[in-house]
Amino acid sequence: MEDSTQSGPLSGMTYSQRTFGCQMNVHDAERVAGMLEAAGATRVETIEEADIVVFLTCCVREAADVRLMGQVASMKNIPPAHDAPRIVAVGGCIGQRDGAKLQEALSHVDIVFGTHNIGHLVELISERREGGKPVAEVLEVSDEDVCGLPIRREEPWRAWVPIMTGCNNFCTYCIVPYVRGRERSRPIEDVFAEIDSLAAEGVQEAILLGQNVNSYGRDLYGSPRFSEVLEHAGRSGLARVRFITSHPKDISPLTIEAFASYPNLMPHLHLPLQSGSDRILKLMNRSYDTGRYLEVVDELRDKIPDISLSTDIIVGFPGETEEDFCDTLSMVEEVGYGSAYTFIYSRREGTPAAEMEDDTPHEVIQDRFDRLVDVVQKSAYEQNQKEAGVRLPVLFDGVSKRDGAMLNGKSPKDQTVHVPLPDGADAGDFAGRIREVEIEEARTWYLKGRLADG
Ligand code: SAH
Ligand code: SF4
Ligand code: F3S
């Protein structure tokens, strides 16, 4: 798989990536790939074939943390792809959190890097390749314009547009502010320019990205300017625009107004609830109560009647009682989510919640989790029924991994849509295209239909 036409410090080398966690890492992975390829490396799928393996890690919950460390540890037993030893680089949020400690635990890790110095990776790899020592480089704040790095987009028709990094909210359970730093917004002209160039390139869907997009601009301009970003994206000519994540405390009437004004801003909002108990929300430091959350939902539905909402919910936060939990179930029923990510609380060292008394037995929490999943599924099923018999524009990704005769795509509300590939049609003609689909069947996790135009 070597490409002699490429030159650069990593020319002739192969690389593979393993990426975990949220969209921040997905986007960082595109930048890592872009840089490695600009430096001459060639992508391969398997670790066995790779001279360089880059892990982008996540530590938001313990399970992911442990699984990942297991994967990194198992690298030791895989023989090198070519003559030179394989270079293992571990970055992302565990890299940021653990730094040199990670190499103490796993001595075959050549490079540890963090969330603020992705731009140094090629240099770190080159030095190691030329005989330098293993290195752990973690910076407290970014010293680079993270948005100026080359990108290798996974799907050419879909672009992640980071508008800000970091988080200032310090929800008491969450490690993200410690591993991603404080909120830093990109200058608004840069965001506008990127949106315009994506539209000019013919990208179909842009996803504006940040831990808390609603407060975009506050650090640079004194007050948030997210509504202006939405307006710009609304006028950009892009077929579809989405944004994640919104914090309920920061979503403003101006933002809702802009959101409602442009049909290419897709009618779906991820609005993390976390808990339906006001007492727990306070302990979580979420800065809203259920009354305020429901007001936001009403404002949204008033302006965008067809909007679909999704959410994140944590079960088993320290001290959560049966009553608190039942309040969460009631909120899920009342809001009517199209989907929800549900998590069992995971204690993260260094966060305030880690110090809170936590004596609920695991079986009780697991039982609550199972009951929550049932209610979420019921809600998702009911919401999806609204689509049955309706004609929808679907942005196709390509064929399903499990069934080469089934096309996969997304509805405006971000529902997964399955459509049989028409006889004799080429799946490649669908990837990245929007086509009208008649929805014939609505299930809990997906819609199924047929092409409306043949
Ligand atoms: N910035 C986003 C997402 C952050 S992480 C937001 O504020 O919504 C994604 C989700 O992981 C969170 O919404 C939360 O539901 C969950 N999460 C974060 N820390 C957790 C922990 N310690 N245990 C369980 N779930 C957690
Ligand atoms: Fe974590 Fe809260 Fe920030 Fe989201 S808003 S990243 S949950 S601290
Ligand atoms: Fe995980 Fe880091 Fe995202 S901890 S959720 S990858 S910001």
Give the number of whichever ligand sits closest to the CA of residue 22: 3
Structure tokens at 167: 């988080």
Ligand 3 centroid to residue 57 C-alpha, Å: 7
Q: What is the pLDDT of residue 65?
A: 86
Q: What is the pLDDT of residue 242?
A: 98
| Cβ(345) – ligand 1 distance below 6 Å | yes
Strand 339-344 relative to strand 308-315, pairing: parallel
Which residues lie with the beta carbon below 6 Å from any ligand 3 atom?
A: 21-22, 24-25, 58-60, 92-93, 175-176, 179-180
Ligand 3 centroid to residue 56 C-alpha, Å: 9
Residue ID of nearest Cα to ligand 2 atom 4: 211
Mutation to probe ligand 3, out of 28, 168, 180 (largest number of atoms < 8 A from CB)? 180
- Which alpha helices (DSSP H) does 39-175 contain, by range? 62-74, 92-98, 100-105, 121-129
| Cβ(314) – ligand 1 distance below 6 Å | yes
Ligand 2 centroid to residue 175 C-alpha, Å: 8
| Cβ(272) – ligand 1 distance below 6 Å | yes
Structure tokens at 378: 């019921």
Q: The pTM is what?
A: 0.93
Ligand 3 centroid to residue 273 C-alpha, Å: 18
For residues 386 and 5, give the distance between their C-alpha atoms in angstroms, rounded to a whole number. Answer: 53
| Cβ(341) – ligand 2 distance below 6 Å | no
| Cβ(166) – ligand 1 distance below 6 Å | no
> Is the distance from CB of 323 to CB of 329 less than 8 angstroms?
no
The position carrying tokens 């672009």 is 159
Ligand 1 centroid to residue 358 C-alpha, Å: 18
Among the listed residues 251, 247, 235, the one whose alpha carbon sits nearest the alpha carbon of residue 273 = 247
Ligand 3, residue 64: give the atom nearest the CA.
1
The position carrying tokens 């919910």 is 313
Q: Mind listing the pLDDT tens digit for each residue in 320-343?
A: 999 999 999 999 999 999 999 999
Residue ID of nearest Cα to ligand 3 atom 1: 58
Instruction: Write phi, then psi, for 288 (nearest 5 degrees).
Output: -145, 160
Q: Which DSSP string corresponds to 404-445? A: TTEEEEE-TT--EEEEEPPTT--GGGTTT-EEEEEEEEE-SS
Residue ranges for the chain with pLDDT beneath 70: 1-6, 142-150, 454
Q: What is the pLDDT of residue 2?
A: 43
For residues 188 and 176, give the distance between their C-alpha atoms in angstroms, rounded to a whole number. Answer: 24
> Is the distance from CB of 134 to CB of 111 less than 8 angstroms?
yes
Q: Which DSSP string corresponds to 146-166? A: GGGS----SSTTEEEEE-EE-
Among the listed residues 327, 430, 340, 325, the one whose alpha carbon sits nearest the alpha carbon of residue 379 = 340
Ligand 2 centroid to residue 313 C-alpha, Å: 12
| Whether residue 245 has a cis bond before it, omega within 30° of 0 | yes
Q: What is the pLDDT of residue 149?
A: 62
> Is the distance from CB of 309 to CB of 267 less than 8 angstroms?
no
Residue ID of nearest Cα to ligand 2 atom 1: 174
Q: What is the pLDDT of residue 199?
A: 96
Ligand 3 centroid to residue 25 C-alpha, Å: 7
Ligand 2, residue 177: give the atom nearest the CA.
8
Instruction: Judge residue 345's burial from the number of C-beta atoms within 10 Å of its C-beta, 0-12 exposed, 13-18 middle, 19 or more buried.
Output: buried
> Is the distance from CB of 113 to CB of 92 less than 8 angstroms?
no
Q: What is the pLDDT of residue 67?
A: 86
Ligand 1, residue 211: give the atom nearest the CA.
1
